[in-house]
Amino acid sequence: MSTQVFDVIVVGAGSVGMPAAMSLAERGLKVLCIDQFASPGQGSNKAAIGGLRATHSAPAKIKLCLESLKTFATWEEAHGDDLEWFQGGYVFVAYRPEEARVLQDLLKVQKAAGLDIEWYGPEELLRIVPGLQREGLIGGTFSPGDGSASPMRSNLAFYRRAKELGVSFRFQERVTAIIRRKGQVVGVRTDKGGYATPLVVNAAGPWARQLAQVAGLDAPVVPDCHEAGITEPVARFLKPMVVDIQPAPGSKNYYFHQSALGQVIFCITPDPAILGSDRRETSAFLPMTAQRMVGLMPKLANLKVRRTWRGLYPMTPDGSPIVGRHPELSGYIDAIGMCGQGYMLGPGVGSLVARLATDQLTPDDRATLEELRPDRVFGGAEALK
């Protein structure tokens, strides 16, 4: 039996791999997408809470997420799928001078990158989010173009679109080797067969490092465990995603929003980080998060929590993704290390990967790839990671 030949193989059918496969096929390439799970979006995508923001501190991430937001905002009109898209914006609150200074200092960079965002004083911010704790509120930023959608609905819609475009999928299949010849990718071997290709895209999320290693490479991506939860549905009372970057014992920050179906969905960033791939929820998460959330918005105390879960953030040393052609292996593209923001970055990164693969980069693309290149020096940290 002859080996099947593809123009490109994408490894990972999640928040980044699925839109990448779709975008590559839109540009006329014959695409195969391989995933270790039984169906699309069953890795970290299904653990995402649905937030979609371009409110970052790194220009590359802002530009990629602005492109993603455009995809989400126009998808239903263009393709007919309801993604539960809701454009409520993002609010970053400040109750201490330290957070106020960080948020205000970032405005210049954010606006220069094309983000619609402003600083609001306490009275103005309370009109945007009426339920906030008034006492001690200094103000905050609001970016109205941000929003939220359903990760699983989105991934399914992208999957259907990719299938329409001719993408082939292999689920419950693990890549065991990336075959190289004279420094060039020539194929992929899995636990179920082999495929010929001159181009592989690593979009394996928390498992990106293992995939890099079967290619004889390495990737500074380490899984970091984060927990989330969801309440019962109630009538709409909250429009923006609310983010509090003030640190507290056991956590760096937390954030929550109300979904299109009325549930409040919330997540926290643990401090110190919990490294590893253990996806079992813990008893410590809910008491810690509930205390912070009710302190910020007292009316939340009346909501019943339906369930909690744990997902994996594929972290890089500086909190920014790794995207681009790998300097040590021709035909190998990284689209990894999204640091828990793969859902909001996915369509933008997928489109960028497709333009890179087909040599159709814009000047902005080249600046983004320079910022996110795989061989960069990993110094510093993204302020809003």
Identify whether residues 226 and 304 lie together within a single domain: yes
Identify whether residues 325 and 310 lie together within a single domain: no
Identify whether residues 292 and 189 lie together within a single domain: no
Indicate the DSSP class of residue 295.
H
* Residue 311 clears pLDDT 50, i.e. is over it: yes
pLDDT tens-place string over residues 87-118:
999 999 999 999 999 999 999 999 999 999 99
* Averaged pLDDT for residues 339-350: 97
Query: Residue 67 domain-assigned?
Result: no
* Averaged pLDDT for residues 145-154: 97
Query: Residue 270 domain-assigned?
Result: yes
Q: Which residues of 257-269 are buried (b: 16+ CB within 10 A; e: fewer)?
A: bbbbeebbbbbbb
pLDDT tens-place string over residues 281-298:
999 999 999 999 999 999
Query: Residue 81 domain-assigned?
Result: no
pLDDT tens-place string over residues 193-227:
999 999 999 999 999 999 999 999 999 999 999 99
pLDDT band (50, 70, 90) for residue 1: very low
Residues 6 or more apart whose Cβ sits within 8 Å of residue 245: 92, 99, 102, 103, 252, 253, 384
- End-of-domain residue from the set 285, 315, 345: 315
Identify whether residues 202 and 181 lie together within a single domain: yes
Identify whether residues 309 and 163 lie together within a single domain: no
Percentage of the chain beyond pLDDT 90 is 97
CA neighbor of 73 nearest in space, from 128, 165, 163, 144: 144
Identify whether residues 44 and 172 lie together within a single domain: yes
* Residue 371 clears pLDDT 80, i.e. is over it: yes
> How far are the Cα atoms of 175, 245, 259, 342, 372 from residue 320, in angstroms, in the given order?
25, 18, 27, 11, 7
Identify whether residues 286 and 327 lie together within a single domain: no
pLDDT band (50, 70, 90) for residue 374: very high
Treating both helix axes as pointing N-terminal to C-terminal, what angle do 363-372 and 342-357 enclose, rounded to 10 degrees?
Answer: 120
| DSSP-derived secondary structure for 94-128 | ESSHHHHHHHHHHHHHHHHTT---EEE-HHHHHHH
Mean pLDDT of the chain: 96
Identify whether residues 230 and 215 lie together within a single domain: no
Q: Residue 120: which CATH number?
A: 3.30.9.10
* Residue 2 clears pLDDT 70, i.e. is over it: no
Query: Residue 378 domain-assigned?
Result: no
Domain range for 278? 87-145+222-315
pLDDT band (50, 70, 90) for residue 379: confident
